Amino acid sequence: MVSVEDYGNFDTAWCPGCGDFGILKALKKALVDLGRSPNEMLLVSGIGQAGKLPHYLKCNFFNGLHGRTLPPATAAKIVNHELTVMAIAGDGDCYGEGGNHFIHAIRRNPNVTLLVHNNQIYGLTKGQASPTSERGMKTKVNQEGVFNRQLNPLALAISQDCSFVGRGFAGDIKHLTELISKAIEHKGFSLVDILQPCVTFNKLNTFKWYSERVYEMDESEYPLNDRVKAFEKSLEWGERIPLGVLYVNERPVFGDSLDALKSGPLVRKEPKTELVNELIDGFM
């Protein structure tokens, strides 16, 4: 029987009141609800306040470069497909510097769950605009307001037929827990974009701002595999922001058809060093 205590209890470097605490709580609860023990989990992250989340759970983790969360997560899933692999990223990390990896991971469809802490700002580097910052928002370096158009990650993901697309809110832990559980259970690449107030640097999109706008969508409103309806839903932003599962489409999963994985995870196989040597010799 797995318990929340199995995932440890760590001091954090996050600001008091940060939305990241809600995400950490929801993730732990989801893992316990699904009966996933720490040794079955691998969390992969890059750099940022969001990227620190795996430091605060007692389980396997890999912390790499900013913007490069998805390539090692995909590789790890191929090397050991028995692990539940999750990628943890910030909005800057995933939609900015890592935007190309985000698009191609959607196309490739590895069985990886991606949580994006979307605080609509670069938190760790002290408050520059991110791709999801509201147009017109003033920051220390955007004194006249952000000029660039705001990226809509859900619309982008749905347009590219992402296998599972959902949105949660760090201020609604119960709903977020259920959403994360659904995303983990989904087979294929799943995106959970999480509205996460940054209480220190984003004075516009606060807990109050989100709470006044978010609502739980009725997931029976349209068939969840209806891409056009889901796309339309993903355009809702502003006065009303839907939370929940917007789109699900079962697609062939990267790795499932690889012969080399059929007899078990690569990680348990003896490496054939003679083949590696042959390959290296080929470059001599």
Ligand X SMILES: Cc1ncc(C[n+]2csc(CCOP(=O)(O)OP(=O)(O)O)c2C)c(N)n1
Q: Is 71 exposed, middle or buried (0-12, 13-18, 19+ CB in 10 A)?
A: middle
Q: How far is the CB of 43 from ligand SF4 (least distance, A)?
A: 18
Shortest Cβ distance from residue 20 to ligand SF4 (Å)?
Answer: 5
**CB closer to Mg ion out of 123 and 244:** 123
Residue 119 CA to residue 106 CA, distance in Å, equals: 22
How far apart are the C-alpha atoms of 132 and 194, rounded to whole Å? 12
Closest CA to 113 of 74, 79, 75: 74
Structure tokens given for 116 = 């994006």
The CB-of-122 to ligand X minimum distance in angstroms stands at 4
Whether residue 214 contacts residue 190, with contact meaning beta carbons closer than 8 Å, is answered with no
Contact flag: residue 91 with Mg ion (CB under 5 A): yes
Instruction: Find the residue with minimal CB distance to Mg ion.
Output: 90
Among 90, 168, 188, 197, binds ligand X (CB under 6 A): 90
User: In terms of CB distance, is 103 or 199 closer to ligand SF4?
Assistant: 199
CB of 20 to ligand X, least distance (A): 7
| Beta-ladder partners of 171 | none
Between CA 52 and CA 192 the distance in angstroms is 17
SS3 273: helix
What would the x/- binding string for ligand X be over residues 41 to 70, using CB under 6 A?
------xxxx--------------xxx---
Residue 90, interface with Mg ion (CB under 5 A)?
yes
> Which positions lie near ligand X, rule CB under 6 A?
47-50, 65-67, 90-93, 97, 117, 119, 121-125, 130
